[in-house]
Structure 1
Amino acid sequence: MRETPKLSELDRKLVAALQVNGRASWKQVARALDATESTVARRGQQLLESGVVGVTGVLDHLRCGLGISLQVRMRSRPGTANAVAEALAVLPETRFVTVVTGSADVAAEFVVRDHHEVTRVLVEELPRPDDIVETESMVVVRKFSAVEEWDTGLLAPEATALLRADRARTGHREWSEPERLTPQEFAIARLLADDGRAGYAQLAAAVGVSESTAARRVESLVRRGCLRFRTLFETPLVGLDVEFMQWLVVEPGELENVGARLARLSSTQYVSATTGRFNLCLHGVLPGYGDLYHYMTEAVGALPGVRTADLTLQARALKRAYVRISADGTRERKT
């Protein structure tokens, strides 16, 4: 069983600030938290070096024409869920893997080139096939919100606004044709995937361009909606002990309305419309188990057109945003 590190109030707010803007300078964070820059830089660097918090740059595969996303639920033979999840986490196609409790045992997000690749991955190359009893895959056709946009609620609105002041925010539907990235942009994105807080001087030296060019390339990727920064941490660090996935069947005429309403809830980290038996998939967080009933009856129960609501609790995430998560909840170190 994982033990959640005990953080000070400042550390909790530091995590919340990085969730709002993973590339915010320590000076920006210090202003938002009304603390000294030296203290914020020291504590923030310690959190990052410990692996308790990490920042990674993630390309939006739909925006960049790199593939499609599948939300996959699996049932496994008794006692094999952890082994199945571990094997899935090794696959390069998996972006997210978690062990869940409820009507499924393992949930994962796969990113594949197109729908023709689904059979290859889920039928021909799925690891531990003898341990997997059933799979159910759903193609993501519309995102309403993503984890990068989620706000923990720990910071005052003024602090959040200050941290987001220089962030270009491109909605998930504000484009029609995929962007085409240059080899140089891909190289920069790969570096930021390893370290989302890498400085422009570091990026410039690695790619062989000037520091100002590196800055312009990153800013262009963000402005065009191609690159987003994801802060990785376990939500109990900020007092949110229950992570769950909600699978909904919604009447087609209410799908847009329900998706948009769910995206506005403070408990929602991610929500998307999908094909298949369930047409909405949601990742959410709550302070404790006592909040689940009110969430199911009031937040979900009040939504129009919801025919089925199936909630599974996340027991352990093994991969987030392509990054492997160690058994203790920290970002896995590359060797």
Structure 2
Amino acid sequence: MRDSFTLDEIDLAVINVMQIAPRATWKEVGKVLGISAATAARRWAALTTHGIAWVTAYPSLSVWSERHFLAFIEVDCEPSDRGCVVDALVEVPQVVSISQVASGRDLFLTLLVPDLQSLSRFTLDHISQLPGVRGTRTYTATHFYSEGSKWRLRALSPAQRGHLTRYAPSTPASAGGFPDACRDLLLHLSADGRRTIAELAELTATSVATTRRRLERLIRDGLVSLRCDISDSISGWPVCAHLWARVPPNDLDRIAQTLLTLPEIRMCAAITGTDNLLVVVWLRSLADSQRLESRLAERYPTLTLTERAIVMRTTKRMGHILDTAGRTTHTIPVNPWAELPSEPGGGG
């Protein structure tokens, strides 16, 4: 068990700056917060040492879902085998997130793969063959409206946020895919999105100039998401819930875009299936779930919530393995291009 750690206002502000500007220099962070660069760096070091906050990187989900396959997979397990199934899936680099949830499914996975063939192989030939798995249901994302990299603690003043406007995310590129030459760079950013250009150059065996140019391209073209995450148990938003909804197709974009103004929204995506909208929220308390649903019903009369599920435990979040308190312990870099696992028992 790690030592207890309590966040104060400066810690929350440092994290909020990292959410907006994950690679800002400590001088810039200190200037925004009115503290020294050394203090900002020291606070961040304490947060990362305790696994409370971290910066990671992965392919932009909005871009990936438009050009490749991003799938949500529900897995039903025998109760006694749930832990073994999680252990079998947590090391897979294409499985970017794993939640253990209540209400009608045991595990909820987020998967990034290049194509439909890869998705079929993984769901039909791997997951469904794992001992203890009773069934799966797969939904593909057709459009991403927002995801966790956009969620904010709201610990900064409007003036402080204004100083960080130049770090606003780029609009995703309209053409071209993820450059092959940049894959290694992304994998090393996954473990620590604040690694310096010099560190990344050494890790990828490229020059500093080439590394800087490649990283700037990924960020400029919106091909990579740099994300500051925080342990939900200490964030003040300890309850995570998944909401499934049906919205008239001609109303989907409007409702999804306005949902993003709600502070609880972590992720919002259009999906295939009977339900066409999936929303992930963070809540301050379990009672807030009912209050949020009432607010949604009042504000969006054409939106029908069909199902909701409380997350009991998040085991993996965007490549980071979490302990029972939601703190990161180590990383399995998100890698959609990795070789898929073989069938259990040694099949191809």
Report what 1:206 is aligned to.
203
Q: Could you tell me which amino acid in structure 2 is paired with residue 41 of structure 1? A: A
**CA 1:157/1:80 → structure 2, altered by over 3 Å: closer, same or farther?**
farther
Structure 2 spans left out of the alignment, 5+ residues: 333-348
Q: Which residue of 1 aligns with 2:230?
A: 233
Say whether the 8 Å CA contact 2:62–2:143 is kept in structure 1. Answer: no
* In structure 2, C-alpha distance between the alignment counterparts of 1:24 and 1:237, rounded to whole Å: 24
How far does residue 4 in structure 1 lie from its aligned partner after superposition? 7.0
Summarize the Cα distance change of 1:217–1:3 in structure 2 as closer, same or farther, 3 Å threshold. Answer: same
Call closer, same or farther: CA 1:289–1:83 in 2, change over 3 Å: same
Q: Which residue of 2 aligns with 1:271?
A: 268
Matches within 5 A, 1:12-91: 12-60=12-60, 63=63, 67-91=68-92
Conserved 8 A contact 2:148-2:267: yes
Q: Is contact 2:127–2:133 with CA below 8 Å preserved after alignment?
A: no
- Residues 272-329 of structure 1 show CA distances to partners (whole Å, capped at 9, x for unaligned) of 1010122111111111122111101113552142233311111111111122223342
Note if contact 2:81-2:131 (Cα within 8 Å) is conserved in structure 1: no
Task: Say which of 246, 249, 252 aligns to 1:249.
Answer: 246
CA RMSD of aligned residues (A): 2.6
1:143 is displaced (CA, Å) by 0.5
Larger mean CA deviation between 215-224 and 152-161 belongs to: 152-161
User: Can you list the C-alpha shifts for 1:236-284, whole angstroms capped at 9, x where unaligned?
Assistant: 3221121111111222222112211222211111111010122111111
Residues 161-212 of structure 1, C-alpha deviation per residue, up to 9 Å, x if partnerless? 32342344225xx62x3334142x2222222122210111212333344434
**SS of alignment partner, residue 169 of structure 1:** coil
Query: Contact 1:53/1:231 (CA < 8 Å) preserved in 2?
Result: yes
Structure 1 residue 57, shift from structure 2 partner:
1.5
Distance 2:4 2:146 in 1: 27
Query: For residue 264 of structure 1, what is the amino acid of its counterpart?
Result: T
3-state DSSP of counterpart to 2:15: helix
Aligned-pair identity in percent equals: 22
Aligned residues: 331
Distance 1:317 1:233 in 2: 12
State the AA in 1 paired with 2:28: Q
1:140 Cα deviation after fit: 0.5
Q: Are residues 243 and 3 of structure 1, via their aligned partners in 2, closer, same or farther at CA, if it must alter by over 3 Å?
A: farther
Query: Is it true that 1:283 corresponds to 2:284 in the alignment?
Result: no
Aligned to 2:342: none
Q: Do the aligned residues in 2 keep the contact of 1:2 with 1:329 (CA within 8 Å)? A: no
For the 8 Å contact 2:22–2:226, the answer to whether it is kept is yes
Query: TM-score, structure 1 length as denominator?
Result: 0.89
Partners of 1:332 and 1:36 in 2: CA distance: 29
Counterpart of 2:299 in structure 1 is 302
In structure 2, distance between residues paired with 1:123 and 1:2: 39
Could you tell me which residue of structure 1 aligns to residue 113 of structure 2?
112
Residue of structure 2 in register with 1:123 after alignment: 124
Matched, 1:332 2:329: yes
* Aligned residue runs from structure 1 range 100-249, under 5 A: 100-126=101-127, 129-171=130-172, 175=174, 177-183=175-181, 185-249=182-246
Amino acid at match of 2:211: A
Q: Deviations over 1:43-79 (max 9, x none)?
A: 1112123322221121226636873100112333335
2:311 aligns with 314
TM-score, with structure 2 as normaliser: 0.86
What is the DSSP-based 3-state SS (H/G/I as helix, E as strand, rest coil) of the residue aligned with 1:311?
strand
Unaligned runs of 5+ in 1: none
Q: Which amino acid aligns with 1:28?
A: E
Provide the secondary structure at the position in 2 that maps to 1:333.
strand
8 Å CA contact retained: 1:29, 1:163: no
Distance 1:163 1:6 in 2: 26
- Contact 1:24/1:163, CA 8 A, preserved across alignment: no
Tell me if structure 2 keeps the 8 A contact 1:61–1:68: no
Q: Is the contact between residue 239 and residue 283 of structure 2 (CA under 8 Å) also seen in structure 1?
A: yes
CA contact (8 A) 2:128 2:134 kept: no
Q: Which amino acid letter does the alignment assign opposite residue 143 of structure 1?
A: F
SS at match of 1:22: coil
Task: Measure, in 2, the Cα distance between the counterparts of 1:120 and 1:254.
Answer: 34
Partners of 1:42 and 1:140 in 2: CA distance: 39
